[in-house]
Structure 1
Amino acid sequence: MISQFEFDKETILDIAKKMAIAARTAPKGRGRDTLDIMIATRNDIDKIASRMDKIFEEQNVAFFQRDANNLRNCEAVLFIGTSIDTLGLSYCGFCGLETCQNKNNHPEVPCTFNNIDLGIAIGSAVSVAADHRIDNRVLFSAGKAILELKLMNDSNKVIFGIGLSVSSKNIFFDRK
């Protein structure tokens, strides 16, 4: 007999990989893929949660500490990041600047299409988690911590984490 607790970790990691595939194959503006996708497991999760605690201490943003505590109860965290490079359009302005050429003069301004693509990819990924009844939460805070730790490609300027957990009660529910 195999206890559920013996295969939970393996199952969560398998689902995280399927989520990564769903994110990769999600529709993208002009078909250009600017996504970077990684999965963190126990050692990396502890490092990321510690950085989130440090951000809480330095910036006094309480949800970083709350989210760090949630992360410590996750078996895996899927991270999806994107660069903020333009699509090279001559007519758009969604970023607030008239053209992509104008946006290029402001390299820290995100291209709206990259962020939209990131959001669609996150939606595709969490739908896979939901299909498999894996509790999950999209976490800006985890993405910010991994960005500061430089654990993903330097071209990533926007990163979100998706914490994954299996328990009798959703660890992401009734958070304070």
Structure 2
Amino acid sequence: MNQLISLHNRLFSAVEHHASDLLPLLARLVFAATLLGYFWASARTKLGDGPFGFLSPSSGAYAQIWPRQFEAVSYDVSQLGPLHWAVAVAGTWAEFILPFLIVAGLATRLSALGMLGFIAVQTLTDLYGHGAIGQPETLGAWLDRHPDSPILDQRLFWAFLLVTLTIRGAGALSADRALAAWWPRATPRPA
């Protein structure tokens, strides 16, 4: 029995030692496989027409980000103010830039933190702007037997993935790791 316990301890000590680099890399790969396409597809629906569409959000952007305000002005973009435009543009850019940075492993902790904020705003907009708070099948419930509600269940998994990256960083095979090796370490100044 002692040999079995010793084998167990050696095996999982090695796993734990290598997990510090492997876990964040796997988290980035899972993000790329499951959420990158989702966020980029969503961002594409917010782009306006032409080469400067990234500065001129589509009406769909306002409908997604400002649903009640957009409805209140009878879906006339010209009646919305500069704040509405700025948030729509920033939200669109964030959906392109932050997922790319996470997958590349560049500024990973800040990017993951930004995505957590983005998902929080997205969730509040879905709950209160689009009325999902009153739709039990969309809202879902924790500790029930259904693990597939879009709000409480799925977004909890998203948040866990992003919290892992916020705490652990990018891990192996990342731009952060390459820059850290290349960038000279700061040395403390003498007192």
Q: Give the TM-score category using the shorter length.
A: under 0.3
TM-score of the aligned structures, taking structure 2 as reference length: 0.25
Specify the structure having the higher radius of gyration (Cα).
Answer: 2
- In terms of fraction of residues, the more strand-rich structure is 1
Give the structure-1-normalised TM-score: 0.27
| Greater relative contact order (Cα < 8 A, sep 6+) | 1
